[in-house]
Amino acid sequence: MTSPKKTGPDQDSADTAAAAEPATEAETAVRPAGGDYEPYPGAAYFHGGRTSEVIAAMAVRLHQEGHADRRLGPDWTNAHRRAFASFQESLRPKGGGDTSGIPDETAWEKLRVPRVTPVREA
């Protein structure tokens, strides 16, 4: 069990130093300008016949994470499903959750797919 994070003037100097460290190269390589990621489109979005830049961006991230042998295209295929299942399995070892290959919201957020759709203004 971890202790609660200290804040304020009593914060440990090690905590302060860690917070001041710049992002690693791997973290910045997948972070789009402004830190904006593609919102989860919902499980129904991922089906045969779907072609989308969102799927292409997801495929690039799966390749970067080592879950796809090659870069997959914008058409949803069984290869995309297998690659996402591999990613889900890395997050949930020993069958501890959804590893169907259909993106779920938790896994999608952890994949950090860069935004490719326009931001809708309210």
Residue 94's pLDDT is: 81
pTM of the model: 0.69
Report whether pLDDT(121) > 50. yes
Q: Is residue 46 part of a domain?
A: no
Q: Is residue 40 part of a domain?
A: no
Q: Is residue 76 part of a domain?
A: yes
Q: How many domains does the chain have?
A: 1
Percentage of the chain surpassing pLDDT 70? Answer: 70
Q: Is residue 33 part of a domain?
A: no
Question: Which residue would you say has higher pLDDT here, 29 or 91?
Answer: 91
Closest alpha carbon to 59 in 41, 72, 48: 72
Residue 37's beta-bridge partner residues? 114
Residue 3: Cβ within 10 Å count:
5
38-42, 76-80, 86-90, 115-119: range with lowest mean pLDDT: 115-119
Q: Is residue 102 part of a domain?
A: yes
Q: Which domain holds residue 99?
A: 51-122
The whole-angstrom separation of Cα 89 and Cα 92 is 5
Q: Is residue 41 part of a domain?
A: no
Which whole number is the average pLDDT over 46-72?
94
Q: Is residue 107 part of a domain?
A: yes
The whole-angstrom separation of Cα 72 and Cα 69 is 9
Q: Is residue 11 part of a domain?
A: no
